[in-house]
């Protein structure tokens, strides 16, 4: 094996070992059955599969592989930055700054592919393309679905109000109006006034 090729593979496998730590980042959403909280890697996998099956509901034509790629990498930065609960009241600016530093550190481990990953991460953050808009829709709907399937347990534990959910999801319909309508009716509606405070 050529030295240059070996060095590149060493860097890639160093990165693969590092991102295994995503499995240790616990989120504030329970898995089905509310037996435990999900981790970031499970969240990413779930959204990727959902995108394969729901991409036809996007408001705009999307590159599915690009969208799945975006979803698989966008939370990797939480290996260093940690997970920020959606209703914790942390400013978007503060969260972005912390995660951008993590993106520099993590994607900087990669050879030339690091620039592509960083560009995908930045695109997700800006939410200014059809793929990024749909990725945000998936990122918002997946935890809603799990909250619904667990009887709204996390919403109840955190005292979440409907106004908070609506504020967090003010752009969800930009990725898919149909999926947002479905989520409002089937995933949120049944919990209003019960697990979700009005």
**Would you say residue 13 has pLDDT above 90?**
yes
Which residue carries 């860097």 as its tokens?
11
The token pair that represents 6 in the structure block: 């070996």
Are the C-beta atoms of 152 and 110 separated by less than 8 Å? Answer: no
Report residue 148: phi and psi, to 5°. -65, -45
Reduced to 3 states, what is the DSSP secondary structure of residue 36? Answer: coil
What's residue 85's pLDDT? 79
Cα–Cα distances in angstroms (integers) from residue 72 to residues 5, 19, 40, 93, 160, in the given order: 26, 11, 10, 22, 27
- Distance (Å, whole) CA 139 – CA 78: 14
pTM of full prediction above 0.85: yes
Residue 100: other Cβ atoms inside 10 A? 16
pLDDT tens, residue by residue, 137-182: 999 999 999 999 999 999 999 999 999 999 999 999 999 999 999 9
What's residue 62's pLDDT? 98
- Distance (Å, whole) CA 97 – CA 108: 16
pLDDT tens, residue by residue, 97-140: 999 999 999 999 999 999 999 999 999 999 999 999 999 999 99
């Amino acid at each position: 094996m050529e030295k240059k090729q070996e060095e590149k593979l060493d860097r890639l496998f160093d990165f693969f070992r590092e991102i295994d730590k995503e499995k240790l980042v616990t989120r504030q959403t329970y898995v089905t059955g509310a037996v435990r909280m999900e981790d970031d890697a499970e969240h990413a996998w779930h959204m990727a599969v959902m995108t394969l099956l729901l991409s036809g509901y996007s408001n705009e034509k999307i590159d599915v592989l690009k969208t799945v790629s975006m979803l698989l990498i966008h939370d990797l930065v939480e290996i260093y930055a940690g997970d920020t609960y959606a209703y914790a009241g942390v400013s978007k600016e503060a969260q972005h700054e912390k995660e951008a530093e993590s993106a520099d550190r993590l994607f900087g481990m990669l050879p030339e592919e690091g620039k592509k990953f960083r560009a995908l991460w930045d695109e997700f953050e800006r939410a200014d393309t059809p793929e990024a808009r749909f990725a945000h829709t998936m990122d918002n709907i997946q935890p809603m679905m799990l909250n619904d399937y667990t009887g709204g347990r996390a919403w109840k534990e955190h005292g979440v109000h409907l106004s908070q959910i609506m504020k967090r999801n003010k752009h969800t319909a930009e990725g898919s109006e149909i999926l947002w309508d479905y989520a409002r009716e089937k995933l949120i509606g049944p919990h209003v006034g019960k697990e979700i405070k009005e």
